């Protein structure tokens, strides 16, 4: 319960300090956009997460006494529709800020919209590095650890492996491409002796797994980097298991430890993959236990990583609104830069320099238990330890 209490306490403390400068009655609206109809496997738990957060915020006094309301819109997985939704939220619903989005291109589209219309935007999920760096802008903040951060967490473990011949399998779109590019770059820096012997780029959602597995096996790598997820991952794992691709080979894999992607694999879960993910079953910190208890009590279901993302997005947004005590975007930016927020994974900070949060990720190995895939030997990696130095970020990010 501590995270919850701390969050509530913080909100109340800020509220009393600011002395209710905001309008006395009424509500504070947050606009939320996500690909509900396209990606229900992620967005259903995500929605449950943010609904829980709204409930908690309002139970502890709302935003400085005002009720927090989240207006949620579906973008159907299309950037253009996401912009229509963003426009509706800003123009018709008069929301104080925008949050949400899953796909990188949608995140970028909304971020560009926010920049143009001068609206505060807290991106929840999009992993692309561009959203905070090369195409970053002062109105956009991002919660989840970026591609770069997850890659450098994985590289840390991968570099310890003796393997020298590496192959990569990644979906053929920006996320897959940049994940592989960052991983290769960081890996080659740490281990100049490594050879990249094969790369496969199946189209996202349309992997023809048999030929891909066969082609990778033919290159005879000692280790494999996998970036596919969802249905593609299932097909890849099934073909790989049958054809013995993963036997005596190390595999490093993005996102595979997330319950969204690990659970469907059931007894086919390959063992010993080094993955990023969310081991909700073995996390014993008080912050997380409080979250877990509240979540299970409300939904009678276990949380996925999407639940954490949804929950923490709204919790962070509420903290920013409470601190700014205003809906003016400039004040929101000032409040958000450097703000520290409690989270189920421990306290996180939204960095001033690139608006990236320091939320981290769990690294561990996959294992089978009672016919189900789980993560074992998990360690939490703080986001702040896996970001490049300030000088480098100055170079990456355009000046406001």
Partner 1 sequence: MAFYVVQFLTGLASAAALFLVASGLSIIFGVTRIVNFAHGAFYMLGAYVAFTLTERFSGALGFWGGIVVAALVVAAVGVLVEMVLLRRIYHAPELFQLLATFGLTLMVEDLVVLIWGPDDLVGRRAPGFRGAIDFFGQNVPSYDLFLIALGPVVLGVLWLLFQRTRWGILVRAATQDRDMVAALGVNQKWLFTSVFALGVFLAALGGALQIPRDAVNHAMDLRVIVEVFVVVVIGGLGSIIGAFVAAVLVSELNAFGILIFPKISIILVFLVMAVVLIVRPWGLFGKPEAPARRTPGLTVNPWRPLTSNERLAAIAALIVAAALPFFAGNYALTVGSEIAIFVIFAASLHFLMSVGGLASFGHAAYFGLGAYGVALLAKLAGLPMIACLLLGPLLGLAGAAVFGFFAVQLSGVYFAMLTLAFAQIVWSIAFQWVSVTGGDNGILGVWPSSWAASPSHFYWLSLGIAALAVVILRIIVFSPFGFALRATRDSPLRSEAIGINGKRIQWTAFVIAGTVAGLAGALFAYLKGSVFPDNMGISLSVDALVMVLLGGVETVSGAVIGAIVYKALNIWLISKTDLSKLVLGAFVVLIVVAFPKGIVGTLETILYRRRKSTSSPSPILTSRIETAE
Q: Give residues in contact with partner 1 (CB under 8 A).
A: 36-38, 40-41, 43-44, 73-76, 78-81, 83-85, 87-88, 91-92, 104-105, 108-109, 112-113, 115-116, 128, 130, 135, 172-174, 177, 198-203, 205-206, 208-212, 214-215, 217-218, 230-231, 234-235, 238-239, 242-244, 260, 263-266, 268
Question: Smallest distance from the beta carbon of 289 to partner 1, in angstroms?
Answer: 25
Nearest residue (CB) to partner 1, 113 versus 120: 113
Nearest residue (CB) to partner 1, 162 versus 371: 371
Nearest residue (CB) to partner 1, 15 versus 275: 275
> DSSP 3-state assignment of 372?
strand
Interior/surface letters 218-228, b for 16+ CB within 10 angstroms, e for the rest? eeebbbbbbbb
Q: List, in sequence order, every residue forming a beta bridge with 71; answer none if it has no partner.
A: 31
Q: Which two tokens stand for residue 346?
A: 């421990």
Nearest residue (CB) to partner 1, 37 versus 296: 37
DSSP per residue over 91-129, as a string? HTS--SEEEE--SHHHHHHHHHHHHHHT-EEEE-S---G
Q: Which two tokens stand for residue 201?
A: 């780029």
Nearest residue (CB) to partner 1, 112 versus 157: 112
Question: Smallest distance from the beta carbon of 116 to partner 1, in angstroms?
Answer: 5
Nearest residue (CB) to partner 1, 81 versus 289: 81
Interior/surface letters 354-368, b for 16+ CB within 10 angstroms, e for the rest? bbbbbbbbbbbbbbb
Chain-centre distance for alpha carbon 386? 15
Residue 388 DSSP label: -
Question: Smallest distance from the beta carbon of 114 to partner 1, in angstroms?
Answer: 11
Please give the Cα distance from 247 to 271 (Å, whole number). Answer: 10
Question: Smallest distance from the beta carbon of 359 to partner 1, in angstroms?
Answer: 22
Question: Smallest distance from the beta carbon of 391 to partner 1, in angstroms?
Answer: 25
Question: Smallest distance from the beta carbon of 214 to partner 1, in angstroms?
Answer: 5
Q: List, in sequence order, every residue forming a beta bridge with 277; answer none if it has no partner.
A: 257, 362
């Amino acid at each position: 319960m501590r995270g919850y209490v701390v969050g509530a306490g913080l909100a109340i403390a800020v509220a009393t300090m600011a002395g209710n400068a905001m309008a006395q009655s009424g509500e504070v609206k947050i606009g939320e956009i996500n690909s509900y109809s396209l990606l229900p496997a992620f967005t259903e738990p995500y929605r449950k997460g943010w609904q829980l957060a709204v409930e908690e915020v309002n139970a502890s006094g709302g935003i400085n006494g005002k009720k927090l309301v989240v207006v949620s819109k579906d973008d159907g997985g299309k950037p253009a529709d996401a912009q229509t939704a963003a426009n509706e939220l800003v123009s018709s619903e008069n929301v104080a800020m925008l949050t949400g989005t899953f796909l990188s291109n949608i995140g970028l589209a909304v971020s560009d919209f926010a920049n143009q219309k001068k609206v505060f935007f807290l991106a929840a999920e999009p992993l692309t590095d561009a959203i905070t760096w090369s195409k970053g802008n002062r109105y956009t903040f991002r919660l989840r650890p970026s591609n770069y951060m997850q890659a450098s967490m994985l590289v840390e473990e991968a570099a310890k492996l003796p393997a020298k011949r590496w192959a990569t399998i990644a979906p053929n779109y920006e996320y897959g491409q940049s994940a592989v590019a960052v991983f290769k770059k960081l890996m080659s820096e740490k281990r100049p002796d490594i050879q990249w012997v094969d790369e496969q780029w199946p189209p996202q959602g349309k992997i023809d797994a048999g030929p891909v597995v066969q082609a990778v096996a033919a290159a005879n790598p000692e280790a494999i980097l996998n970036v596919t997820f969802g249905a593609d991952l299932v097909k890849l794992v099934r073909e790989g298991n049958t054809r013995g691709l993963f036997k005596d080979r190390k595999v490093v894999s993005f996102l595979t430890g997330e319950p969204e992607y690990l659970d469907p694999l059931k007894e086919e879960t390959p063992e010993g993959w080094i993955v990023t993910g969310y081991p909700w079953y073995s996390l014993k910190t008080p912050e997380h236990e409080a979250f877990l208890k509240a979540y299970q009590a409300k939904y009678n279901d276990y949380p996925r990583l999407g639940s954490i993302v949804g929950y923490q997005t709204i919790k962070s947004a509420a903290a920013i609104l409470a601190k700014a005590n205003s809906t003016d975007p400039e004040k929101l930016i000032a409040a958000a830069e450097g703000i520290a927020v409690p989270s189920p994974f421990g306290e996180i900070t939204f960095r001033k320099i690139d608006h990236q949060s320091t939320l981290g990720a769990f690294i561990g190995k996959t294992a089978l238990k009672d016919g189900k895939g789980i993560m074992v030997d998990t360690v939490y990696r703080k986001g702040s330890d896996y970001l490049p130095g300030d000088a480098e970020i100055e170079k990456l990010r355009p000046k406001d």
